[in-house]
């Protein structure tokens, strides 16, 4: 019988929990709203979701994917930008409530692990997964193992400085990558075009009822996929920034694959092709080295749960059991 674990993806607005088997298949799931300003209530919501799933499935461990800095021991959330957690010993708190082993991991790391094990990167041992949503998250798998760094907070790639003293970031610094290549940046670009060049942005404005400030990322994606010039220009812009960032990461990490996930990846080839073109053009030593593939993520909204659940199962060494990875 397959050994089951629960993966919990804790975001700023929702908590998604699911039962996952050894093949990465999601068997059942449930959701709760995230009471982001109340740490006790967040713990209660996680516990409630897990108890619901355990009432129907026998599970052996819980994996938590949290949007924040997780310590090297996979126990504490040291800092979470969208939640009130500060040095929160999540593992101890949840083990006390649920009486079952708990592993805590950064949410983007969980996504990268899921795509490596069961998704777009299952045929690669060395990959970088980036999640392009409101910001940019990332996870690195090297030699079939999740790269966590000396303190557990490796791969916070959205906060690599792309423009010195550039746009102010929520992390407190300036010029971070996610200020230029994220879903937020996509919307900012679209609204700016709509305000200053309404004829060029006619498709965007039509989708938003004529109100530039009502334009959303989903609208930009939908209009771009219909071939609208103004919306495609927005993807030209963020595709350029993402591609530049991948070229920098390739210079340091030399992965054989980049996987692009997150909400903005719903644009599909509209995004991927632009990213790959810029990445290839800016790769150091191009023409004299192998070039990493750029693929879209495959697991979608399930990835965080699947990755966290699998890490709970394989947490002894973060290597795929029974293989050389």
Question: What's the confidence (pLDDT) of residue 191?
Answer: 97
Could you count the other beta carbons within 10 Å of the beta carbon of residue 277? 15
**250 lies in which domain range?**
123-298
Q: Are residues 166 and 50 in the same domain?
A: no
Q: Are residues 183 and 240 in the same domain?
A: yes
The verdict on residue 321 lying in a domain is no
Going by C-alpha positions, the residue among 144, 118, 127, 122 that lies closest to residue 21 is: 118
Q: Are residues 146 and 292 in the same domain?
A: yes
Going by C-alpha positions, the residue among 151, 53, 40, 134 that lies closest to residue 85 is: 40
Q: Which residue has the tokens 């996952």?
A: 20
φ/ψ region of 126 (left if φ > 0, alpha if ψ in -120 to 50, else beta) reads beta
Q: Are residues 213 and 259 in the same domain?
A: yes
CATH number at residue 38: 3.30.420.40
Type and span of the H or E element at 119: none
Q: Which residue has the tokens 């340091």?
A: 252
Q: Are residues 85 and 161 in the same domain?
A: no
**What's the structural domain count of the chain?**
2
Q: Distance between alpha carbon 192 and the CA centroid of its chain, in Å?
A: 26
Mean pLDDT in each 10-residue stretch from start to end of the chain (325 residues)? 90 92 97 88 95 97 94 93 87 96 96 98 97 94 96 94 95 94 96 96 96 97 96 97 98 97 96 98 94 97 97 65 38
Q: Which residue has the tokens 């399930």?
A: 302
Radius of gyration of the chain (CA): 20
- pTM given for the model: 0.91
SS3 per residue for 252-316: HHCCCEEEEECHHHHHCHHHHHHHHHHHHHCCCCCCCCCCCEEEECCCHHHHHHHHHHHHHHCCC
Going by C-alpha positions, the residue among 145, 144, 110, 143 that lies closest to residue 129 is: 110
Question: What's the confidence (pLDDT) of residue 325?
Answer: 42
Q: Are residues 286 and 140 in the same domain?
A: yes
């Amino acid at each position: 019988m397959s050994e089951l674990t629960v993966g919990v993806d804790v975001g700023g607005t929702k908590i998604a929990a699911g039962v996952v088997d050894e093949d990465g298949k999601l068997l059942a799931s449930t959701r709760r709203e995230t009471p982001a300003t109340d740490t006790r209530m967040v713990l209660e919501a996680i516990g409630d979701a897990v108890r619901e799933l355990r009432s129907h499935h026998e599970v052996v461990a819980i994996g938590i994917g949290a949007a924040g800095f997780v310590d090297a021991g996979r126990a504490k959330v040291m800092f979470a930008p969208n939640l009130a957690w500060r040095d929160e010993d999540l593992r101890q708190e949840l083990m006390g409530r649920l009486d079952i082993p708990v592993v805590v991991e950064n949410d983007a790391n969980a996504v990268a692990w899921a795509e490596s094990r069961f998704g777009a990167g299952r045929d690669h041992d060395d990959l970088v997964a980036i999640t392009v949503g409101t910001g940019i998250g990332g996870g690195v798998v090297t030699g079939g193992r999740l790269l966590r760094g000396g303190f557990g907070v490796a791969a916070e790639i959205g906060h690599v400085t792309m423009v010195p003293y550039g746009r102010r970031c929520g992390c407190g610094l300036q010029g971070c990558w996610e200020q230029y290549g994220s879903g937020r940046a996509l919307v900012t670009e679209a609204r700016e075009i709509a305000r200053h060049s309404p004829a060029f942005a006619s498709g965007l404005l039509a989708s938003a009822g004529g109100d530039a400030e009502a334009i959303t990322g989903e609208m930009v994606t939908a209009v771009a996929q219909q071939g609208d010039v103004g919306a495609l220009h927005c993807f030209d812009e963020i595709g350029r920034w993402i591609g530049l960032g991948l070229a920098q990461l390739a210079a340091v990490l030399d992965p054989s694959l980049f996987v692009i996930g997150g909400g903005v990846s719903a644009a599909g080839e509209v995004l991927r092709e632009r990213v790959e073109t810029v990445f290839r053009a800016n790769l150091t030593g191009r023409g004299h080295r192998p070039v990493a593939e750029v693929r879209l993520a495959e697991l979608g909204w399930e990835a965080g749960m699947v990755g966290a659940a699998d890490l709970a199962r394989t947490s002894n060494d973060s290597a795929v059991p029974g293989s050389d990875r």
